[in-house]
Structure 1
Amino acid sequence: MPLTAQHASAGVLDATVDPLGEGMPWEAIHRARPRAPLTCRECGHGLHAKVSPKGLRFFAHDRAAPTCSLVGETMAHRLLKLQLASAIRDAGWYAELEVAGDGWRADVLATSPDGAPGPCPGHGWWRPVEPGVGLSVFVAGVLVGTIRAHRALRYSRLFLESARIVWTTRPHVIAERAQLVASEHRREHDDLASAEHERHLAAIPAKLARQQALTPPAVELVGRESRGYVGVRDATPEWAMGVPLFVYDTPQGVISPVVSRISAEVRARLGGLTLFVATEAERRALARACGPEQRIVLFEVEIPDQPQPPAAIYSGTFWSRRQWATGASRRTRR
């Protein structure tokens, strides 16, 4: 039901104010005889003035009214329009109800005292907020610009997209932007971590193949220099994922440790041992990580594309299948 009507001579009448317009009182149109010449500003059909059981003044369409967007408004909707208009007027602005424009119609149109329209670029999203904000405070904030309509942004699974328009304050907009920046940084970090993880997985077979190719010459050198039995143990973080070589339970060397896993503790543990590498680039990287005093031996070995079964590496050279399984070796030749 509309809250405004078009009078044949007095122009637009507003049921929410006194007088209604052009100095016309409510009594001049409500149950007046002869009937006041009122029509709907939306559809042009005849209207008559009414009062709800709770005292709300409004206009109702006469019978056989055509389809009109103002027909069927709930009481809650009409009360909200009334409260908005009152809050706008309390803030010192002009409020007009049910104003139609080029392809749009405003339930309530706010105009500043200097004639500029209110700062309302679109529809907002209404929902309860905590703590609650009074309608008068909200409307006054919208009119002076401390509360603004803002198109919120959010990250979907793949990209940044626009969400709903919300009414909010500048600090909340700044907080949203900070959150979006943090989310973008986190997403970039996750992408980099995922790429690094994939590179790490791809590098594992090459690392194992390199360590296997280095093991025979490294065992031969350690056995010759120490004149003892050489035991090859599993690669563990304790040795920066390199393969440690022991003689009588004493570490003597490490085959191809991972540079990125060399901490201060691991660096101290590697000091005094011999490190074995297969490339000049690996030797330089280890030298930077361990210091100039670290002994590093470079063997030019043929590295297979994929690591081989241990028995295939050592059978016929320094290790037998049984020796690989038990961790024992025969004495290397001097």
Structure 2
Amino acid sequence: MGFTAQHDGRGRLDATQADLGCGWVWEAVHRARPRVAMTCPECAHPVHAKVSRYGLRFFAHDPGSPTCALAGESMEHHLLKLELATAVRAAGHHAELEVRGPDGDWRADVMATSPDGTARMAWEAQLSPITVDEITQRTARFAKDGVRVCWVATKLRPWVGEVPSVHVRPPGDREPNWTVAGGLARFTVTKCDDEYSLCRAVGHGEWHETEADLRSFTAWALTGRAVAHRLPSWLHTDQHAWTGVWTAPQYIDAAAAYWQARDRAVAELEEQQRREEIRRRRREAERRARVAALAAAPPKPPTKQPAVPEQGSSAAPRPEPVWEVDLPHHERQRLREAALSEARLLFGVETELRHHDRDRRWALGSPLYVGDRPYAVLRPHPQLVDWGRLKGLLIFVRGLDELRVLGRTAPNGTRIIVLPEQPAPSD
């Protein structure tokens, strides 16, 4: 069964065209008496014109035919070839079925030729199993003769996507037309509000599979609005992993621009991280120097302690450092920003303040969280601190005096960081 036949006088006959492609009506060959002599263009065996019960016109081999590729094609194969030829003609191109190459090393199911005759593209309905190596070699044979090709499959075989190809669905109850169900993709960039600076800078760029009716896709491919594109990484869908797709040139440009922008953003982020690491090391060195200076400083002479006041006396209590709750708002704000910066520079963590002051768990200090877990406390009050509750947390203090006061009761292993002095805001 095939759509073409060879006639000595009329040349090649095409059953998919109203005039058989040669100015002859179908009745001239179908049930004509005397019978018209025609042969198969593939095996040269005699053929005759037939019409299926669904009204499909074709040429059938006479009895006793040898093994022939055209004779062995299924009805689904023929229907897909017919749809491809129709789609090519609807796009304004010339369609010829079952065309052999000049050296006989390839045969196109449907050969599309541009109106000016300068460009050819083969459309191959490949329904039977074939290896990746075999179909790659067949694609190379077309390319040798300057012919582009698109392989069309109704099942997702291993080779689909390895060569220029699409996966199609035949018409059904809900779809009246053939549909490109796989192998057609577009590239999109979506904005991202994630705290990760790289995502905020360039967003998320991804290839997405999309669908179209086969006739529209055929027109896009013939006119260059869709081109075969090799992906830098696989496009994974629910059914298949695609290494190559068909897409619009603007999507290829958009993907290239996105990855260039992402590379620049990565370089900038790495440079920022490098600078932050230098600052972190400098801050750590300064912190160690402050602690060493504190250890090396001679102890202050003991001050005379006031006598224990008698009951009912009004002697003043011993002075303590000023703690955060007693500081002006602008100074508390500077200390909080310094604590956030110090946690980032010294320990590489991004912290945030969840709630402020007046919480007895934090001894009136300000807790810093990483995610949903407490990480540090800014200046817990020494008279209220419960070290059991603050076990394992980092402690930030304002200066050396506060370090001395908290250090009196802090258990061994407690990490207490003296924040660098913060300049007052300029007027």
| 2:111 equivalent in structure 1 | 109
* Among candidates 151, 155, 164, match of residue 233 of structure 2: 155
- Contact preservation (8 Å) 2:47, 2:60: yes
Cα distance in structure 2, aligned partners of 1:75 and 1:134:
21
* Among candidates 249, 254, 258, match of residue 170 of structure 1: 249
Cα distance in structure 1, aligned partners of 2:115 and 2:337:
79
**Deviation (angstroms), 1:56:** 0.7
* Among candidates 145, 149, 152, match of residue 122 of structure 1: 149
Q: How many residues align?
A: 237
Cα distance in structure 2, aligned partners of 1:131 and 1:95:
27
- Contact preservation (8 Å) 1:228, 1:248: no
Amino acid at match of 2:248: T
Q: What TM-score, normalized to structure 2?
A: 0.43
**Deviation (angstroms), 1:164:** 1.6
| 2:46 equivalent in structure 1 | 46
**Deviation (angstroms), 1:116:** 1.7
- What stretches of structure 2 of length at least 5 have no aligned partner? 123-147, 151-164, 168-179, 185-208, 235-241, 304-318, 324-332, 340-407, 415-427
| 2:4 equivalent in structure 1 | 4
Distance 1:100 1:36, change over 3 A: same
Cα distance in structure 1, aligned partners of 2:30 and 2:2:
15
- Larger RCO (CA within 8 A; separation ≥ 6): 1
Amino acid at match of 1:221: A
Distance 1:176 1:214, change over 3 A: closer
**Deviation (angstroms), 1:15:** 0.3
| 1:308 equivalent in structure 2 | none
- Contact preservation (8 Å) 1:29, 1:35: yes
**Deviation (angstroms), 1:137:** 3.8
Distance 1:34 1:183, change over 3 A: farther
**Deviation (angstroms), 1:109:** 1.5
| 1:311 equivalent in structure 2 | none
| 1:265 equivalent in structure 2 | 334
Instruction: Provide Cα deviations, 1:203-232, integer angstroms capped at 9, x if missing partner.
Output: 99x9989977974553122745xx579xxx
Cα distance in structure 2, aligned partners of 1:50 and 1:100:
23
Using the aligned pairs only, state the percent identity.
39
Tell whether 2:86 aligns with 1:78. no
Cα distance in structure 2, aligned partners of 1:116 and 1:57:
30
Distance 1:269 1:176, change over 3 A: closer
Instruction: Provide Cα deviations, 1:186-216, integer angstroms capped at 9, x if missing partner.
Output: 77689x49x96xx97xx99x99899779745
**Deviation (angstroms), 1:115:** 1.9
What is the SS of the residue equivalent to 1:110?
strand
Cα distance in structure 2, aligned partners of 1:268 and 1:151:
50
Distance 1:151 1:31, change over 3 A: same
Cα distance in structure 1, aligned partners of 2:108 and 2:410:
86
- Contact preservation (8 Å) 2:88, 2:94: yes
| Structure with a larger share of its residues in helix | 1
What is the SS of the residue equivalent to 1:27?
helix
Q: What TM-score, normalized to structure 1?
A: 0.53
| 1:15 equivalent in structure 2 | 15
| 1:218 equivalent in structure 2 | 294
**Deviation (angstroms), 1:119:** 5.7
For the aligned residue pairs, the C-alpha RMSD in angstroms reads 4.7
- Contact preservation (8 Å) 2:217, 2:226: no
